[in-house]
Amino acid sequence: MQTHAKKNKVNHLDKIECVYRIQHHGSTVRACAKRFGVTDKKVISWLSMHEKGELIKQHAQWSPSWNRENVIQHPLDLDILQAIKRGNPTYEDSIISLFDPELDAVNCISHVEWQDEEIEKLCLWMVDRSLEILRDVAIDSEDLIVELEFVSSNYFALICKAFGFDHVELRKGIYHELRLRGVNEFALEMLEISSVYTRSGVTYVPNSEY
């Protein structure tokens, strides 16, 4: 693994990447200290700064609208952060930057002020996107497990209820199609049982046997 142990100075984006790796990608303090050529204590200080909001820099391109109370800071994906650090973002990264005025490349976050209409669109998109993935994904993939856990969750049921969908019938259709594709019979039976329990607010999702 390539590290940054010989770097003389760690820059702002390095600190953010370090925090992202620990908080969102399962890295450790020691591993990040080695990667960026700093002490464990220094990494811990960056984590503390991030928790307090002190790692976010108000730079020259900072929009005053980002200071509004209801604005939420969403971290960008690690691959976008690394593309920004390299200075050669992909076509997709460039499109995101051009058409998202709330994207903050200096801090690798997107500043979003959620309105009710946007939340509704996001929830509906989550269901639509999950159905698309389940339709197209390989049956032995991690993505299938993730989407099945979402479909069997209380959250899925609540979204369906809000939009007038019958979540029980949706699940039945999904499980039927997956059976035809050869997905483990036992796992689907357990998920079908869980869809009954969600009516009373309880969901059982097996962690294996997919």
Tell me the pLDDT tens digit for each residue of 199-208.
Answer: 333 333 333 3
For the 1-55 domain, the top CATH level (class) is mainly alpha
Q: Report the greatest alpha carbon distance in the chain.
A: 60
Give residue 190's pLDDT: 56
> Shortest CA distance to 175 belongs to which of 186, 164, 166?
186
Q: Please, which pLDDT band fits residue 169 given cuts at 50, 70 and 90?
A: very high
Q: Tens digits of per-residue pLDDT, 87-123?
A: 765 545 544 554 567 888 889 888 888 888 888 888 9
Which H or E element spans position 110? strand 109-113
CA separation, residue 123 to residues 95, 113, 126, 196, 202 (Å)? 23, 16, 5, 22, 21
How confident is the prediction for the chain on average, in pLDDT? Answer: 79
Q: Tens digits of per-residue pLDDT, 141-160?
A: 888 888 888 998 999 999 99
The model's pTM: 0.54
Q: Name which residue leads in pLDDT, 32 or 97.
A: 32
What whole-number percentage of the chain has pLDDT above 90? 31
> Shortest CA distance to 85 belongs to which of 14, 138, 25, 147?
14
Q: In the chain, what are the domain boundaries?
A: 1-55, 57-113, 117-200
